[in-house]
Amino acid sequence: MTPPARPVAVVTGAAGGLGHAIATALHADGWSVLLTDLDPAAARTAAAPLGGWSAALDVRDEDACAAIAATAASRGDLALWVNNAGILVTGASWEHDAPTRRRVLDVNALGAMNGTLAALTVMRGQGHGHVLNVVSLAGLVAAPGETVYAASKHALLAFSLGTLSDLRMAGYRRVHVSCLCPDGIWTPMLHDRLDDPGAVASFTGSMLTAQRVAARAVRLARRPRPVVSLPRWRGAQVRLLDALPRLAVALTPLVRAAGRAGQRRQRRRSTLPDRR
């Protein structure tokens, strides 16, 4: 008897950090994972212990995203597409030039839109599938010091939820779009931000490990939900602030103080000797 084929998943930005953790967790959960990244050599290295399936992908290239979706579908049902690729810039909004603002939006928002639409072209034909967009708590509330980044994530959240509604109106009941909104994650994206005053928002709550977020992503992949925050209490907290913008602005000094304390706390954790 032929064993059932492993469900196929695509993960963008999978050569390191959270993307690699998600790909590893999906592989352990029984998925056939195509790891994609802007750096093809790094993607190959990351994919080697996970079945060796990798490809170069610049998510800003719409045609390239479509080609990856077709490649993934050639191995069976494209059951999952994880839009994880993203970049972070910090500082006041007026400190960034136009090319920087465009690059952040092109990768974080338009790149994820490209991946979503490429995946949905296949999934709508199949009649089933799931797009999981890694958003961030910054997609739920304006993050001081990370304004351009937060704007890109707000755009992705709106696009994701609107697309999910569009799917339902079009009669697609088994094609899903989910948003995962984690707190700050201790990955290379933040490793050089411990002295960055623009990054304080990322250090105000629970500093998560990539493995913890990846485990939640696997559960979400199996049981789709429109929006999941991690930890849940932080999602409730930032949504309250988003609903009360005047209060949120007034609390900015406290946010900054909490973030600086979080940076100092993370620095101490990062320099503790390994006692195992």
Q: What are the catalytic residues?
A: 149
CB of 152 within 8 A of CB of 178? Answer: no
What sign does the CA torsion over 181, 161, 218, 116 have?
A: negative
- Give the angle 229-130-58 at the CA atoms, nearest 5°: 90
Residue pair 163/81 in contact (Cβ under 8 Å)? The answer is: no
Distances (CA, A) of 228 to 207, 235, 273: 17, 8, 34
What residues does 55 pair with on adjacent strands? 36
Q: Please report where in the chains the tokens 């602030």 appear, as a residue.
A: 241
* Buried/exposed 78-89: b ≥16 CB within 10 Å, e otherwise: bbbbbbbbbebb
